[in-house]
Chain A
Amino acid sequence: MPSDVEKWKSEVYGNDILDHLYEFAEEGWESIPGDEHDAWFERFKWWGLYHQRNGQESYFMMRIGTPNGVLKPGQTEVVADIAEEYATGPASNPEFGDSWVDWTTRQSIQLHWIKLEDVPEIFEKLDEVGLSTQQACGDSWRNIVGCPVAGKDKHEHVDALPVAMELHDAFKGNEEHTNLPRKWKVSVTGCREGCGQGDINDLAFEPATKEIDGEDVRGFNVRVGGGLARNEPRLAKNIDVFVTPDRAAEVAGGISALFREHGDREDRYNARIKFLMDEWGPEKFRRVLQEDFVDFELETAGEDLRDEYSYNSGYANGGHSDHVGVHEQKDGNYYVGLNVLVGRMGTDDTAELARVANEYGSGEIRVTQRQNVLITDVPEENLDALLEEDLLEHYSPDPHPFMRGSIACTGTEFCSLSIVETKNRQVRFARWLKENVELPEGVEDFHIHLSGCTASCAQPQIADVSLRGMKTRKDGEAVEALDIGLGGGLGENPQFADWVKQRVPVDEVPGAIENLLANFEERRNGDETFREFVERTDEETLAELVEPEETSYEDPMMHNTKMTWYPYADDDGMDASPAPTDREDKPLPADD
């Protein structure tokens, strides 16, 4: 029996949702029939709108897709304006104020507290500068990710940006590919450092060289079936295909069509292509692709560059593990990577970012998969003045390792799936660690990723310290807790973390990290990295080295933040929620 979601999709999906969305926006929140909420909220995702969690009815998260993380000149200021005007809710956040922009791990943008009634206006403003929310969520081609400095990187193997943009143009709004069995995440990377993170995407194009007719041709090897969600993380599998940049779209279309035809529509838990890959294996996958979904003879895989990958790798092999800092581009200009702690930037700061980018660079901004932003195209003579800007004090190109290494997802603040508070907590963790814990000598990269649930939006399994939301009892009371994982990282031989210590009450987590680092320092061989140390240590020993402990760190959000209407409201009880509200955030009369 097809799932409810498949039934809803078969009725209305894709571009057709828009007319309905506009009609509901026109007539207001209450015009959505009560017994069609689940169906419409599922469909709205296709247009980038995610209904927020319980207690926040009538408010939406809006995701804007920025292919390859590129915000063209003129776009960032519009995002800031929209956030300022529309992304405000009935309460404020103690760290981030009344409105902000979230830069995400898939190089997109998320805004919160959006009212349905405002959506047409917002879409119009986005459209004017060439931005869109189309397919930002839902069962289709999501935002295409890649190396954020594609086309500018001095050492890149191929410039993958035109390919990412071609895929974006070809598959956004393409009726043949708008209703897939599940989300479809694509990564296109041309650089040597692996910062497109292809391994954790459904479909990955990775830099490679292939000898064809006696000539070395640059292009991509293809991998399929990666993903982190649901306790079932998978690395994408090599399907032994090489493709040239000009044929990448054709092959991508074939693979997407294969997924459309063969993916599981009966069981959403089993629908991602990683499960089809489990069932078929790469050889059968390649055979079916060749026989039924592409019209030309596929090349076998070429020589890859995976042994050079450094991004999120935890190894010190000379490559970057992020894009923070000042780096020369191939045209002699510079890009300046700013650290955005947990990816959240106030709207004023976002407007300021746009101003600074216009003044010193080309006005372009790029978003990375570590929730950071880059100001690109800065001529050398502008660097000093740029580095003097106040904005860069807060969003530093040279941050403390604990600030630099922090990633956190949305969490109970807005997300229905979440078990714990995340972003603000990670800010508190990072500050406490910075003030209280010395990193072992020479350790400049230390990544801590916090996800509120097993969906793994913060990519916890590929960090030095992996944290994910859990619950436990402490002194008999239910409290928020985190599982602690170690050993994850990308690079040539990517590994997912082992969850070595489970259900650590949140107030004991900073102490656990402190003790872990002290134990690492004591046992460290020479200047090995933390990941290298973890790799040569067995799991049982690692579990002993974690040692959760209460410290001077105090957590104000130990209680069940999921049961609040908003964790930071003065009166946070569900009953105090103003939602659902009208366009002006005024409570709507109850309809019984």
Chain B
Amino acid sequence: MSVALRTLDDGAWISVNDTREVSVSELWRFPGGNFCSCDLSDVVVEGFVETGVDGRTVEVRAYGQCIACGAKATTDWLPVGRVVDGEFRDVDRESVLCPQVAPAATAAAHR
């Protein structure tokens, strides 16, 4: 099943099948490393850069700032939800997110 994935509102939202599903200004925690020097980055999401689907997982790369150390950067691909039977389901973004190792398979920048 094809999924219409795009960023809207100047990168403020991820729209999945014409519904705004994931927004900026959430605080996301994920293992630091590539983003900043914190063990656990705590990032306020300021803008979505790219979005794509890997299998059924909706992933994004987002621009933001770590509120612990102040570093500004763009994240690796992070899973933000899954598409099940054509419906979007959130992953629990309040707990720690796991970056994908390989770039998403069908990633496309929608601007």
- Interface of A toward B, CB cutoff 8 Å: 3-5, 34-38, 53-54, 229-230, 267-269, 416-417, 419, 453-455, 469-473, 478, 502-503, 560, 562
Contacts and interface: CB of A to CB of B under 8 A. Distances in A.
18 contacts: A5-B111, A34-B18, A37-B18, A37-B19, A38-B4, A54-B20, A54-B23, A268-B10, A416-B23, A419-B24, A453-B24, A469-B25, A471-B25, A471-B44, A471-B67, A472-B44, A502-B70, A503-B67
A567 B25 CA distance: 16
B17 interface: yes
Contacts, number: 67
Contact of A472 (B9, B12, B20, B67): B67
A35 B24 contact: no
Nearest to A55: B20
A478 B43 CA distance: 11
B10 A455 contact: yes
Interface of B: 4, 6, 8-13, 15, 17-20, 23-27, 42, 44, 46-47, 65, 67, 70, 110-111
Contact of B25 (A35, A269, A419): A419
Given A4-B6, A35-B17, A472-B67, A268 B25 contact: no
Contacts of A472: 44, 67
B27 A473 contact: yes
Given A416-B13, A453-B12, A562-B25, A473 B67 contact: yes
Contact of B15 (A36, A38, A560): A38
Given A472-B44, A562-B23, A269 B15 contact: no
Nearest to A266: B111
Given A230-B10, A417-B12, A4 B20 contact: no
Contacts of A454: 46
Interface majority SS on A: helix, strand, loop or mixed? mixed
B106 to A, nearest CB: 14
Contacts of B27: 471, 473, 478
Contacts of A35: 4, 17-18
Given A35-B4, A416-B13, A478-B27, A267 B111 contact: yes
Contacts of B24: 417, 419, 453
B108 to A, nearest CB: 9
A470 B44 contact: yes
Contact of B10 (A37, A269, A502): A269
Contacts of B26: 471
A59 B84 CA distance: 29
B26 to A, nearest CB: 8
A268 B7 CA distance: 11
Contact of B12 (A5, A267, A268, A416): A416
Nearest to B19: A37
Nearest to B20: A54
A274 to B, nearest CB: 14
Contacts of B44: 470-472, 503
B110 A4 contact: yes
Nearest to A471: B44
A37 B4 CA distance: 11
Contacts of B42: 473
* Residue of B10, B13, B25 with most partner-chain A CB within 10 A: B25
A430 B108 CA distance: 45
* Residue of A53, A419, A470, A562 with most partner-chain B CB within 10 A: A419
Given A269-B111, A473-B42, 16 more contacts: A3-B110, A4-B6, A4-B110, A5-B111, A35-B4, A36-B18, A54-B23, A268-B10, A416-B12, A417-B9, A417-B10, A419-B25, A454-B46, A470-B44, A473-B27, A473-B67
Q: 8 closest A-B pairs (Cβ-Cβ)?
A: A419-B25, A37-B18, A417-B12, A471-B44, A416-B9, A3-B111, A268-B111, A38-B18
Contacts of A37: 18-19
A109 B108 CA distance: 37
A35 B86 CA distance: 12
Contacts of A229: 10
A290 B8 CA distance: 36
